[in-house]
Structure 1
Amino acid sequence: MGEIFSTFIRRESSFSHTWTALELLLVALTCTLLTWYLQFLWSRRKLYECSRKLPGPFAFPLVGSALHFIGSPYDIFSNIMKMYNQYPGIFRVWFGPRLFYAVSDPKYYEILLPHCLAKERWYKYSEAAIGHGLFAAPLDKWKRHRKIIMPTFSQKILDGFVEIFSEQSEILVEQMRKFAGEGEFDIFDIMSKCTLDIICETAMGVKVNTQTSADTSLSTCIDRILENIFLRAFVIWYHYDAIFNLTARSKAYKASLKTLHDFSGSVVRQRKRLFDESRKANKLYFEEDSRKKTFLDHLIEITSQGNQFTERELRDEVDTFIIAGSDTTASTNSYVFLMLGLHKDLQEKVYEEIIEVVGPSRPVEREDLVKLKYMDRFIKETLRLFPVAGVIVRAIEEDVDLGDHLIPGGTSVIFGILRTHTNEKYWPEPFKFDPDRFLPEEVAKRHPCTYLPFSYGPRNCLGIKYAMMAMKTLLATVLRKFKVSTSYGSIQDIKLKANLVLRPTDGYKVSLELRQ
């Protein structure tokens, strides 16, 4: 009995000693983590001090206000706009452990956008699609590439594209005839095919004939790519590849990327091969008229002269222009059709101007475009209410003094473009559609940063003129043939979601009627 009791005591003593060791280990780990966390907080004390000076949504430990960015692209964008309405001017948002400032006052844009040129690291989620093309390139690469690419957007070169704009718009007319009198449909699908054909022919010298083909894979995959880039940026658990790659969304995304990259890669290889063959045969690859030189041709020629673009860099820029040049223009054109359908009286004014300037049947010419002044204002008013991007984001690398607030380096700024465009402080009756807001005398009254559909400062959109010329040519061609209607009752009925580019949640619903 005594031996049994002694054995029991020894076992109890041994167990007690083991448990004490585990406790000590846990205490040591806890102290280490607590020490690290306190050091982490202390190193960021400047951020917390600056953050306390501004209002903003409640932030939980670790995740911050990230719970506001859960749900569909509509839910996420709706919550963003609610924040801008609740906190006018400037506010702060903690996204996980990262501090963002959100601004919508033009005076802040004027200070920040010309000087804060580094893209926010959220844009890294676009790299799988467009690599380091102009849209998402690091600052040093962006400066070099933009300087090289800029000459391809000279007015002389753009004027040479009007014939292509017109030819592809005539093909669009024939596609639209199939829908005339057939009830309401989403116009974005046929519009995106047209703009894809335009960008491929003008920027890359390749005819893809998407409008007349039954294959819709390329235009469809672009929309899917944009949505996934947006969700990866704003849904915090999608930041982790290991999690995102487990989702069904990831599989569809990768398939879309393959479609895009297979196409752009084949285009780059084809144009480079033609260029190399011409040089070997001692022939001119380009016509002497430089207006025939496409964007891609220019880059290939520059590369041959020693200002080296790798094949990957060429493909990145091609991918960027395919997405930026086709999808954004198609989206804006589709919104223009919605506004024409909502405002029949203004639609007639646009139509009358087209007939007066271009006539009922001849092709649109470059000299016509500058004369379409009311159409120009109509497009600009559409872009006010439906800018391509509702928000843009920039990184702040060094402290920036805004006068009434200090934004510390190491943070980021979200620019609420749509909020600024619909703020009654700058735009009386903001949801009234009025193209005459863009009469020269009205524009002169406003701060230049109250209207930023193409951003502002050195990193603004490079293709502003290209886009406006392409849109005006298309609209002048199409609106001579069709009247446009929509079942939307008002601008406020068009609920928006974001996938980098703003989209209506219920689609671009229009119906067409042939003009007599």
Structure 2
Amino acid sequence: MAFELLIPNMEQKITSFFLIFLACTILIWYLQMLWKKRKIYQASLSLPGPLALPIIGSALYFIGARKSYDFFQKLKHLFNSYPGIFRIWLGPQMYYAVSEPKYVDIILTSPAALRKDNLYRFLEPVSGHGLVSALLVSQWKKNRKLINPAFNQQILNSFMVVFVEQAEVFVDILKKYVGKGECDIMKLVSRCTLDIICETAIGVKIQSQSTNSSIAESVERSMEIVLIRILTIYYHSDLVFDHSPIGKEFYDVSKKLRAYTETIIEQKKKQREKEKLENKELFFEEGASLRKKVFLDLLIDINDNCQTKYVQFTDEELLDETMTILIAGSDTTSTTTCYVLMMLAIHQDIQERVFGEILEVVGDEESVQLYHLPNLNYLERIIKETLRLFPIVPFLLRRTEGNIDIGDYTIQKDCPIIINTLHLHRTEKYWPNSLKFDPDRFLPERAAKIVPGSFIPFSYGPRNCIGMKFSIMEMKTILTTVIKRYRLLTSYKSVEEIELDSTLLLRPRDGYKLSFELRN
């Protein structure tokens, strides 16, 4: 009987010991974490910011933010409440939130802030470790150095014929929308830019504008899911996300996109080997016309000409960079193009002025050509002013690899930084009457006075967007072709009416509302 009574007591003691041991382990872990982050906690005391509680940080502030719009509005409110710089705790991680140009200038040009934040890893199933999502600075530097030659001006000029052809296809498709009232043209424009990037990047005509190709929809859906994962804290866990329905959908879409691109790369390599055997130049023929090398040709050339394997692309890296070019080169350009068309529809006087410039530079009948582009100065200022009001990427995320002295504060090592591009571009101090659409802000004499760090539509510093020139040339071509043919109209009356939302890119909450009339 005594022995039987002893067993429950032993079980209770073991249970008690285990609970005490577990509590002590957690306490020791927590104290170690506090000690490790003592400098960060000390730095946070000198910064303003929302209430932060142990473990959960400022999570209470975001209660009720179930959709991207809610989260975006709360972040906007924080940046308005704490101008310049503040701190925000997301769980046990402190983020520096920055919207002061002088700080942005120092941060984005600092070697200690070249690393992307860990949240970019959510892009990896689609784009791998390409230029946009590569977390390791050493890998990014190697690949950027290899890819830079593929974006020189002479090569970009050779793509002009593709820009013109696809822009003409796009304006022909718009005919069916004339007199039919407003429509959201995002899908139409994104299919146009996807056709352009596929033909110039990998040398394949996917004809998404004229067929039911699902590639454009797959790209869009993959980016939507990435945003959902970023905004849903429990999806940050690979275990939870990988076994969720949306996670399985994401991996299916990613696998489809990468398999499609991988097939194209293999076809390209086989084609090149065949041409080598036949002792031909690396051009591909399409009907009676000859096309110059596309980005994929150039990347393989660069790889083949490298003297050491250390600086060459692996097959996986080649796939990653091709995927990155396809995604970044399609969605970003289509987004800005849609905003420009909306700005012209709202501001009829500016639309007529740029139409006059197009007639003067391009002529009444002739299609836009390469030599016209440098003379479309007013159109370029319109694009820049649109990028100011509607920066493609509203938030940039970096993670420091060393302390950064920004004058008033020292940003601590191993801390993420959120840079609010939208807030920078609309700050009254640097952009008087900031919501007024005024392309003449970018006249040469006024542009020279723009404060460094206050205008960063293609990011800034060493890790800026490699495709900036490509994008501007492409947009000028599409916009010129559209404006020559159609008058643009919208029910939006002003910039203030356009409520903004953010997936990974800045979007109008109610869509890109446009209607079209044929010009006489």
C-alpha contact 1:74 1:497 (8 A) present in aligned 2? yes
Unaligned runs of 5+ in 2: 285-289
Determine whether 1:301 maps to 2:319: no
**1:212 and 2:217 are equivalent in the alignment:** no
User: After superposition, where does 1:144-183 map in structure 2 within 5 Å?
Assistant: 144-183=142-181
Q: Partner of 1:77 in structure 2?
A: 72
Specify the code of the residue in structure 1 equivalent to 2:177: F
Shift of 1:180: 0.8
Is this contact kept in 1: 2:402–2:414, CA < 8 A?
A: yes
In structure 2, how many angstroms separate the alpha carbons of the residues matched to 1:42 and 1:227?
38
Shift of 1:489: 2.7
> Are the aligned partners of 2:182 and 2:513 in contact in 1 as well (CA < 8 Å)?
yes
Tell me, yes or no, if structure 1 residue 19 matches structure 2 residue 12.
yes
CA distance in structure 2 between the aligned counterparts of 1:449 and 1:251, rounded to whole angstroms: 40
Equivalent residue, structure 2, for 1:478: 482
Q: How does 1:266-285 map to 2 (within 5 A)?
A: 266-285=263-282
For residues 462 and 66 of structure 1, the distance between their equivalents in structure 2, rounded to whole angstroms, comes to: 36
Query: In the alignment, which residue of structure 1 is the partner of 2:338?
Result: 334
Shift of 1:496: 1.8
Q: Provide Cα deviations, 1:174-230, integer angstroms capped at 9, x if missing partner.
A: 100011111111111110111011111122221111111123x11111111112222
Matches within 5 A, 1:484-503: 484-503=488-507
Aligned to 2:223: 226
Contact 1:123 1:233 in 2 (8 A): no
Indicate if the aligned counterparts of 1:169 and 1:477 stay in contact, CA closer than 8 A: yes
Counterpart for residue 348 of structure 2? 344
Query: Structure 1 residues 62-71 or 267-276, which shifts more?
Result: 62-71
What CA distance in whole angstroms lies between the structure 2 residues aligned with 1:312 and 1:21? 52
Distance 2:28 2:483 in 1: 68
In 2, Cα distance between equivalents of 1:330 and 1:430:
24
Q: Structure 1 residues 368 and 399 mapped into 2: Cα distance closer, same or farther (>3 Å)?
A: same
Contact 2:99-2:424 within 8 A present in 1 as well: yes
Q: What is the TM-score of this pair, normalised by structure 2?
A: 0.94
CA displacement at 1:492 relative to structure 2: 2.1
Residue equivalent to 1:249: 246
How far did residue 14 of structure 1 move?
5.1
SS of alignment partner, residue 512 of structure 1: strand
Render the CA deviation track for 1:116-160: whole Å, top value 9, x for unaligned.
Answer: 111111111111110011111221111111111111111111112
Aligned to 1:387: 391
Q: Secondary structure at the match of 1:382?
A: helix
Residue in structure 2 matched with residue 259 of structure 1 by the alignment: 256
- Checking the alignment, whether the CA contact within 8 Å between 2:126 and 2:255 is kept in structure 1 is no
Structure 1 residues 394-403 or 260-269, which shifts more?
260-269
Query: In 2, distance between residues paired with 1:304 and 1:176?
Result: 43
1:86 to 2:81 alignment: yes
TM-score normalised according to structure 1 size: 0.94
Q: Distance in 2 between matches of 1:67 and 1:472?
A: 45
Residue type at the aligned position of 2:34: L
Match of 1:421 among 410, 425, 428: 425
Aligned to 2:183: 185
Q: CA deviation at 1:12?
A: 5.2
Whether contact under 8 Å (2:194, 2:208) holds in the other structure is yes
Q: 1:194 aligns with which of 167, 192, 195?
A: 192
Whole-angstrom CA distance in 2 between matches of 1:319 and 1:206: 14
Q: Name the structure 2 match of 1:56.
A: 49
The one-letter code matched in structure 1 to 2:68 is: P
Quote the residue 1:3 is aligned against.
none
Measure, in 2, the Cα distance between the counterparts of 1:494 and 1:269: 44
Structure 1's 460 and 291: CA in aligned 2 closer, same or farther, altered over 3 A?
Answer: farther
Counterparts of 1:417 and 1:391 in 2: how far apart (Å)?
Answer: 6
Distance 1:468 1:504 in 2: 21
Q: Deviations for 1:153-174, whole angstroms, at most 9, x for unmatched residues?
A: 1111111211211111111111
Please list the CA deviations of residues 393-414 of structure 1 after superposition, one character each: whole Å capped at 9, or x if unmatched. 1110111111110111011111
Structure with higher Rg: it is 1
Does 252-261 or 444-453 show the bigger shift? Answer: 252-261
Worse-superposed segment, 29-38 or 347-356 = 29-38
Alignment partner for residue 98 of structure 1, among 90, 93, 96?
93
8 A Cα contact 2:261 2:322, kept in partner: yes
Task: Determine helix, strand or coil for the equivalent of 1:361.
Answer: coil
| Alignment correspondent of 2:124 | 127
| C-alpha distance after superposition, 1:214-258 (max 9, x if no partner) | 23x111111111122223233221111222234332233233213
Cα distance change of structure 1 residues 286 and 54 upon mapping to structure 2, 3 Å threshold: same
Structure 1 residue 28: deviation in Å?
2.9
Match of 1:4 in 2: none
The answer to whether the 8 A contact 1:66-1:236 is kept is: no
- Aligned match of 1:434: 438
Decide whether the 8 Å contact of 1:156 with 1:291 is kept in 2: no
Please give the alpha-carbon distance, in whole angstroms, between the structure 1 residues aligned to 2:325 and 2:474: 14
Distance in 1 between residues matched to 2:25 and 2:172, nearest whole Å:
71
The one-letter amino acid of 2:396's match is I
Shifted more, 68-77 versus 406-415: the winner is: 68-77
Q: Which runs of 5+ in 1 are unaligned?
A: 1-6
For 1:118, which of 106, 115, 118 is the aligned residue? 115
Shift of 1:99: 1.4
Corresponding residue of 2:104? 109
Moved more, 229-238 or 294-303: 229-238
Moved more, 476-485 or 277-286: 277-286
Tell me if structure 1 keeps the 8 A contact 2:361–2:375. yes
Question: 1:459 — aligned with what?
Answer: 463
Task: Tell me the secondary structure at the aligned position of residue 118 of structure 1.
Answer: coil
Query: Is 1:140 the counterpart of 2:133 in the alignment?
Result: no
Rounded to whole Å, the distance in 2 between the matches of 1:97 and 1:107 is 28
TM-fit CA distance, 1:382: 0.6
What is the SS of the residue equivalent to 2:177? coil
8 Å Cα contact 1:158-1:291 kept in structure 2: no
Deviation at 1:335, TM superposition (A): 0.6
Structure 1 pair 63–282 and aligned structure 2 pair: CA distance change class (3 A): same
Contact 1:226 1:501 in 2 (8 A): no
Confirm or deny: 8 A CA contact 1:268 1:311 kept in the other structure. no
Matching residue's letter, 2:78: M
DSSP 3-state at the match of 1:449? coil
Judge conservation of contact 1:230–1:499 (CA < 8 Å) in 2: yes
The 1-side partners of 2:464 and 2:56 are apart by 32
Determine the C-alpha separation between the residues in 2 that align with 1:429 and 1:66: 34
Output the CA distance in 1 between the equivalents of 2:334 and 2:187. Answer: 9
Counterpart of 1:239? Answer: 236
Alpha-carbon contact 1:218-1:259 (below 8 Å) kept: no
